[in-house]
């Protein structure tokens, strides 16, 4: 059984109602971005896209912001997120069971994975702008 299949079995009671007609999960696309594997599941009735993210290492690039809003349920593991705003930075620990939203304007970076990896269910969209990176903040 793959690690995604194990995650789906372990969290079926939580995921089934959230994914509705996309359950059982059959990823439409699997993409690899260095230490991030993205499993795109499909579109939700509200137009957002459902996907699973498997993160195996902290961000090594500069802080960034996303092209769309991302509503995230952390399913397994944890990560430390550094959020940049108003000339400063705030560190937040996200743990399994946490639900949070990353707005397109949020400049952030996942700087630590205390448990070595993390799995999340993400609902993303609609796209409102381009990705942006902020090397000047490092």
Q: Where are the domains of the chain?
A: 27-137
Q: What share of the chain is helix, strand, coil (3-state, %, to 5)?
A: 15, 50, 35
Q: Which of 77, 81, 39, 87 is nearest to 63 (CA)?
A: 81
Is residue 1 over pLDDT 90? no
Give per-residue pLDDT as tens, 68-86.
999 999 999 999 999 999 9
Letter string b/e over residues 96-134, b meaning 16 or more CB atoms within 10 A of that residue's CB: eeeeeebebebbbbbebbeeeebbbbbbbbeeeeeeeee
Q: Which of 20, 15, 19, 126 is nearest to 70 (CA)?
A: 126
- Are the C-beta atoms of residues 52 and 118 closer than 8 Å to each other? no
Is residue 91 over pLDDT 90? yes
Which residues are within 8 A (CB) of 47 and not within 5 positions of it... i.e. 6 or more apart?
Answer: 125, 126
pTM, to two decimals: 0.94
Q: Which superfamily, per CATH, for 27-137?
A: Jelly Rolls (2.60.120.10)
C-alpha neighbours within 13 Å on the C-beta side of residue 120: 24
């Amino acid at each position: 059984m793959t690690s995604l299949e194990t995650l789906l079995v372990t969290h079926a009671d939580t995921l089934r109602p959230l994914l509705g007609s996309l359950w059982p999960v059959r990823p439409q696309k699997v993409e690899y971005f260095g230490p991030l594997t993205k499993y795109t599941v499909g579109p939700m009735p509200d137009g957002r896209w459902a996907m699973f993210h498997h993160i195996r290492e902290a961000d090594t690039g500069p802080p960034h912001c996303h092209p769309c809003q991302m509503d995230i349920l952390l399913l397994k593991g944890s990560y430390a997120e550094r959020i940049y705003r108003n000339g400063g930075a705030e560190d937040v620990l996200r743990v399994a069971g946490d639900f949070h939203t990353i707005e397109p304007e949020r400049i952030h970076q996942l700087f630590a994975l205390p448990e070595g990896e993390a799995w999340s269910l993400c609902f993303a969209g609609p796209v409102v702008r381009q990705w942006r990176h902020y090397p000047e903040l490092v």
